[in-house]
Chains A and B, each alone.
Chain A
Amino acid sequence: MRHTITVLVENEFGVLSRVSGLFSGRGFNIDSLSVAPTNDESISRMTIVTSGDEQILEQISKQLNKLIDVIKVIDFTDESAIEREMALIKVTAEEESRAEVLRIVDIFRAKIIDVTPRSYTIEATGAPAKIEAILELLRPLGLKELVRTGPAAIGRGAKGWKG
């Protein structure tokens, strides 16, 4: 099962390698990972997408908590969080396909951020499923390059995790 885990960590050097080392050393998967400082500069926030059965997920979450530099671990299940991801997509756009690309970009409320006679570069934001969908439509037209940030996740409702 896919899980999105948010980890609040001390904003210090070496912390990222402790977290990633924990995953690689124990054979856990990282599907994606994004990190940046929070509103409190001493804390960074990581969003990690991983997968495994319940027992593995429980171990991952306990092992993360065990790291001294980890302040908080939140395991979001599907319903409890909003996820957003950005993708930068360079796609082949020659005579016949230029209009088609624009149509797709329009439908997905994406943006063209760079243009050449033979390509468009697109910025798309949304839930991971939306990114998958736009990619599926663009792929037949010729994907030249793709960069995804991996999702950032935040809990639904009024409650906030400080940091």
Chain B
Amino acid sequence: MKMNGARIMLECLKLEGVDTVFGYPGGTVINIYDELFSFKDIRHILPRHEQAGVHAADGYARATGKVGVAIATSGPGATNTVTGIATAYMDSVPLVVITGQVPTPLIGNDAFQEVDIIGITRPCTKHSFLVKDVKDLPLIMKKAFYIARSGRPGPVLVDLPKDVQIATTEFKYPDTVDIRGYKPTIEGHPKQVEKAVTLLLGATKPVIYVGGGVVLANAAGELTSLARKLNAPVTTTLMGLGAFPEDDPLSLGLLGMHGTYYANMAVTNTDLLVAVGARFDDRVTGKIATFAPHAKIIHIDVDPTSIKKNVRVDLPIVGDVKDVLTRMLKVIEERADKVAEFRKSLGPWLEDIKGWKEKHPISFKQTSNVIKPQFVIQKLRELSDDDAIIATDVGQHQMWTAQFFTFTKPRTLLSSGGLGTMGYGLPAAMGAQAAFPKRQVIAICGDGGFQMNLQELATLVQNRLPVKICILNNNFLGMVRQWQELFFDKRYSQTCMELPIDFIKLAEAFGAKGFQATKPDEVESVIKKGFKTPGPVIMEFKIAREEKVLPMVPAGASLNEMVLNA
């Protein structure tokens, strides 16, 4: 059937299984919106800012594992997407972002609302396409989705000029796609897998270091059975939280800058570190020279550039985590006797770890008159549904969530780790709620970051997305204040948010509800009320203003040089 480019684009989305898109209209996408007007198979959500639209698509993608889709007009619409795209890129989130572009004959003329968005986003997209001919559009869309979701996932941008949206052609969607320059290695090399198991079973102090790749590969199940079969302790990065149940005795929780004492001690003393879908970020390693100094390192990653980028690796395995772990589990099955012996030999190591756990458990000092943020996080865990989805913003509250929430399921924590984008939390929660209207979705924000995308309260109310928003209000840009306290002599330059905001009235102005807790004994009732109230709700907690996130490894220090107490 003959169709115009705008319609073809929508048909492609539908054929890719897209049910929800987040987009904002404008001159160069008006033809797409005209087609959308009568296109019933896709739900369109209108955010109040294109950045939030991309974060919402990102939250949708992280929560579901599907490709998130966002649409923006050319020029300012396109530039507004950049932070969202960069956020997704750093955390390997699959997105397809469609931007309108000025008509092809005008490209390069400094036309009205023209920007070179392909050029601007080149360093923060996995790939991008400028569609010059409507005949190319179906294949480009097919490629865009394939590239976004396969291998190491990431955002792909499709720049679609207005004249291409208007031009018509016969529509046929290709069944398959083959890109000669793009063939990700999925299957782990059997010899390498054998060697890895041999190394593992020869270790006496192993640690499994789990990253976001395990979540992205939907391999939490395989990872968990591997750890349990071997009885080997597991630590996760911020992005890996949920890939291994944190209530399991083998869990060491978070490692790195704000990781637990015992995770960082275990990594410092291990003789074999098995990195699974993790990329040795500097927030994790601290000083490279003293990172896991006694360990042989096995590194499993689908992206060869992640391997040996920051640390030496003794045994690399390129491949999809799910495939590699499945192969490892098979080899382990075949070596049952060796495994039994190995489990027995781990006794002293597990004792060491137990000792570290007892010496410095993750903890905080409770007080009777001021609310401790950690207490709020614990209460949230206690009172929320088992499968609740938590989206965080960026700052202290993000780290307290990582430390105190006890994640047990993959894709239940949505957080901007790599870029650390303030303003991410609320729109990401919105995207997750759009994907799962029936599940409990909670946004945990700081007072600062919440204000970076608070306009999305309108989107929540309009679309009946009942996100529960917790604001841990310290009236500070707390994370920066903490650095100023520790490393800049308490010179709180521009981190105090002088103006107290009435978040309750703010909620009401948008047609939402708001509750506030100022004392510890109000925390539980506010959470209960918030959860019970239908629709979007703000729960504001006035927390101890100068509480710090601890432990902390100062930037550039070794993992065992933690600041443990105030």
Contact = CB atoms under 8 A, between A and B. Distances in A.
B305 A70 contact: no
Contacts of A18: 122
Interface string B298-322: 0000011100110000000000000
B357 interface: no
Contacts of A68: 126-127, 147, 179, 181-182
A108 B179 CA distance: 45
A54 to B, nearest CB: 10
Nearest to A43: B180
- The listed residue with most A CB atoms (<10 A of its CB), out of B127, B147, B181, B304, is B181
Nearest to B180: A71
A63 B305 contact: yes
B249 interface: no
A116 interface: no
Contacts, number: 32
A132 B427 CA distance: 59
B361 to A, nearest CB: 39
A63 B181 CA distance: 13
A71 B122 contact: no
B149 to A, nearest CB: 14
Nearest to B119: A17
Interface in B104-134: 118-119, 122-123, 126-127, 130
Interface residues of B, number: 17
A17 B305 contact: no
B225 to A, nearest CB: 31
Contacts of A65: 304
Interface residues of A, number: 19
Contacts of B127: 68
A10 B305 contact: no
Nearest to A10: B181
Interface in A28-69: 55, 58-59, 62-63, 65-69
A69 B122 contact: no
Nearest to A63: B305
A66 B122 contact: no
Nearest to A70: B181
Given A17-B122, A21-B123, A62 B181 contact: no
Nearest to B129: A14
A75 B182 CA distance: 19
Interface in A67-89: 67-71
Nearest to A58: B308
B130 A14 contact: yes
Nearest to A60: B305
A10 B180 CA distance: 9
Nearest to A71: B181
A59 B181 contact: no
A111 B527 CA distance: 85
Contacts of A157: none
A62 B304 CA distance: 7
Contact of A55 (B123, B180, B308): B308
13 contacts: A10-B181, A14-B118, A17-B122, A59-B305, A62-B304, A63-B305, A65-B304, A66-B304, A66-B305, A67-B181, A68-B127, A68-B179, A71-B181
The 6 tightest CB contacts between A and B, nearest first, are A62-B305, A71-B181, A68-B127, A68-B182, A62-B304, A25-B123
Interface of B: 118-119, 122-123, 126-127, 130, 147, 179-182, 303-305, 308-309
